[in-house]
Structure formats: C-alpha cells, structure tokens
C-alpha cells in the first residue's frame, strides 16, 4: 500500500533511498549532507520554497472559512481573531512543514529523472556522477 508507506515516511522523515537514515539534521529542517546508513548524497537536494508554497495555500484556504465561521458563531473582538489565527497558522507550520518537505523530497527521488542523482542500488554516488552517465540533452544527430 504505497500511500500508507508514503504517509509513514512523511510522518517520520527518513532517507528516501534506504528508509533508515535521518533525512533532516537534528532539530532542523536542513537535509543531511549524506545518509548515515547508506551514504546517499541527500544534501545535494534542494526543494527550495516548495513546502512553503503548499503551506501558504493550506493556511490561506483554511483560515478564511474558519475565521468566517468563528466570527458568525462567537462575534469576538478583532484582537481575538489576531491571536487565534496566528496561533493556528504557527501550529500548522510547525506540524506540516517537515511533513511536506519530506514528501517533496520523496517525490523528487521517485519521479525526477535521475531524482536526487541516486537510483536504487546506487546509493552514495553523486549527482554529478549520475549526470555523467546521461546522454547529452541538446545534441541533435547530424546526418
């Protein structure tokens, strides 16, 4: 059941190659340079702002209807909205940022051509090494 495995992977982020080594440095969301178990060069991966973009959408699309319902039900003063939704947004960020970042890394490993520069069974090789094996992209055969 791949979906359940993906969810388990995201809730406890591990190396996407061996599923045993840590994905993030302790108390951080920085990807480890190299998997301690299989030696995969995970530090070469860069998900950029991907996780933040998803979180922005999740928070934005959930806060507005919830705030509207909260306003209709309780009609609190504006400062209560400020406190409640700031705490909500911070909580969602703290809970989901590592989960989403781990999922993006897993998807990159699984679907990107040469994802993370590592193919199953080639753990420990570099992105550069993986690129050297690829044929040139822009070369058109001359007839």
- The answer to whether the beta carbons of residues 35 and 24 sit under 8 Å apart is no
- The answer to whether the beta carbons of residues 47 and 55 sit under 8 Å apart is no
Of 41 and 63, CB closest to Zn ion: 41
The binding site for Zn ion (CB under 5 A) comprises 15, 17-18, 21, 35, 37-38, 40
As measured in angstroms, the least distance from the Cβ of 36 to Zn ion is 8
Of 29 and 37, CB closest to Zn ion: 37
As measured in angstroms, the least distance from the Cβ of 22 to Zn ion is 9
Of 37 and 89, CB closest to Zn ion: 37
As measured in angstroms, the least distance from the Cβ of 42 to Zn ion is 7
Of 55 and 117, CB closest to Zn ion: 117
**CA 115 vs CA 28, 127, 128, 136: distances in Å:** 23, 9, 12, 17
- The answer to whether the beta carbons of residues 63 and 89 sit under 8 Å apart is yes
Of 54, 53, 42, the C-alpha closest to 105 is: 42
As measured in angstroms, the least distance from the Cβ of 118 to Zn ion is 9
């Amino acid at each position: 059941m791949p979906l359940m495995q993906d969810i388990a992977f995201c809730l406890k982020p591990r190396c996407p190659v061996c599923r045993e080594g840590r994905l993030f440095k302790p108390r951080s969301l920085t990807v480890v340079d190299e998997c301690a178990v299989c030696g995969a060069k995970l530090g070469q991966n860069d998900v950029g702002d991907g996780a933040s973009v998803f979180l922005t959408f999740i928070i934005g699309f959930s806060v507005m209807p919830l705030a509207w319902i909260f306003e209709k039900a309780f009609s609190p003063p504006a400062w209560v909205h400020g406190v409640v939704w700031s705490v909500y947004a911070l909580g969602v960020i703290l809970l989901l940022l590592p989960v989403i970042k781990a999922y993006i890394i897993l998807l990159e490993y699984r679907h990107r051509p040469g994802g993370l520069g590592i193919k199953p069974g080639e753990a420990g090789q570099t992105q550069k090494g993986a690129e050297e094996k690829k044929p040139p992209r822009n070369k058109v055969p001359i007839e």
